[in-house]
């Protein structure tokens, strides 16, 4: 079976933390079979070696990748949580985080690799929710004008797009800087991993750059 990688999250490279053994059965039961939705436009990238799965965070899709727009439905089919024995056996630090296997229509099985810093079921759910939303964003996406919907689907931007539309296109920023004055709210959003930066005034995009 061919496996592709859902490129949305950057795994850490430090010594991993692990969800407690007693929390695992309930967590796996709860997540397995869930239907969720991509929170931001993402890409599936066929890896060169399916034994080592690399993940990226909010990057522009490379040539050959299949872009999946925000709101794409997915189903969680399997959850793999690291064990101390598995880490020693595999000696693969980039495989040390939890892995969530997804079924996506017309795409096949995909692997979403999460952070290595998750030490509880609550932390794993928060991390997973950054990528996979429980609520369907489709109704909100449908309210945007066509140029904004097209920008979201292609990981691009258009001037004056609302801030939630920008998050659908580029994902939640890793850094936010807020300035408040008597007549405006100015924000700077940054995605250091991809070299992206955006400026917003009163919740609307005024400038966006990417390396």
Q: What is the pLDDT of residues 41-98, one digit of tens each?
A: 888 876 654 422 333 444 566 677 778 899 999 999 999 887 643 433 344 444 567 8
Q: Which domain holds residue 202?
A: 157-209
Identify whether 148 is part of a domain: no
Residues 69 and 164 in one domain: no
Asked whether 204 and 162 are in contact (CB, 8 A), the reply is yes
Does one domain contain both 75 and 162?
A: no
Give the total number of structural domains in the chain.
Answer: 2
Please give the share of the chain, as a percent, with pLDDT higher than 70: 75
Q: Considering 136, 171, 196, which residue would you say is the last residue of a domain?
A: 136
Does residue 152 lie in a domain region? no
Token look-up 């929390």 returns 23
Q: What is the pLDDT of residues 8-24, one digit of tens each?
A: 543 344 445 566 677 78
Query: pLDDT, tens digit, for every residue of 125-147?
Result: 988 998 899 999 999 999 999 99
Identify whether residues 120 and 28 lie together within a single domain. Answer: yes
Q: Give the domain-ending residue among 136, 169, 187.
A: 136
Same domain, 132 and 199: no
| Rounded distance between C-alpha atoms, residue 165 and residue 189, angstroms | 13
Are residues 132 and 161 part of one domain? Answer: no
Q: Does residue 151 lie in a domain region?
A: no
Q: What does the mean pLDDT of the chain come to?
A: 80
Order of strands, edge to edge, in the sheet holding 4-7?
Answer: 66-68, 42-45, 4-7, 108-113, 99-104, 73-80, 35-38, 132-133
**Do 98 and 166 lie in a common domain?**
no
Same domain, 41 and 110: yes
131/169 same-domain check: no
The pLDDT score that the predictor gives to residue 153 is 93
Of 102, 136, 170, at which residue does a domain stop?
A: 136
pLDDT band for position 201 (50/70/90)? Answer: very high
What lies within 8 Å, CB to CB, of 88 at 6+ separation is none
pLDDT at 18: 60
Do 132 and 190 lie in one domain? The reply is no
Q: Is the pTM of this model over 0.85?
A: no
Mark whether 190 and 114 lie in a shared domain.
no
For residue 143, being part of any structural domain is answered with no
Instruction: Supply the CATH number for residue 202's domain.
Output: 3.30.1450.10
Indicate if 96 and 132 belong to the same structural domain: yes
Judgement on whether residues 100 and 185 belong to the same structural domain of the protein: no
């Amino acid at each position: 079976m061919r496996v592709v990688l859902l490129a949305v999250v950057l795994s850490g490279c430090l010594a991993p933390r692990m969800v407690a053994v007693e929390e695992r059965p309930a967590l796996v039961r709860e997540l397995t079979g869930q239907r969720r939705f991509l929170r931001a436009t993402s890409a599936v990238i066929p890896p060169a070696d399916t034994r080592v799965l690399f993940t990226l965070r909010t990057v522009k899709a490379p040539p050959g990748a299949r872009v999946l727009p925000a709101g794409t439905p997915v189903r969680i089919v399997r959850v793999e949580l690291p064990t101390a024995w598995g880490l020693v056996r595999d000696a693969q630090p980039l495989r040390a985080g939890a892995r969530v296997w997804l079924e996506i229509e017309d795409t096949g099985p995909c692997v979403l690799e999460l952070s290595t810093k998750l030490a509880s079921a609550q932390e794993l759910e928060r991390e997973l929710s950054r990528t996979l939303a429980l609520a369907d964003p489709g109704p909100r996406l449908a309210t945007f004008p066509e140029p904004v919907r097209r920008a979201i689907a292609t990981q691009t931007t258009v001037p004056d797009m609302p801030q939630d539309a920008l998050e659908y296109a580029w994902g939640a920023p890793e850094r936010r800087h807020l300035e408040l004055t008597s007549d405006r709210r100015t924000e700077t959003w940054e995605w250091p991993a991809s070299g992206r930066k955006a400026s917003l005034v009163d919740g609307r995009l005024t400038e966006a750059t990417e390396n």
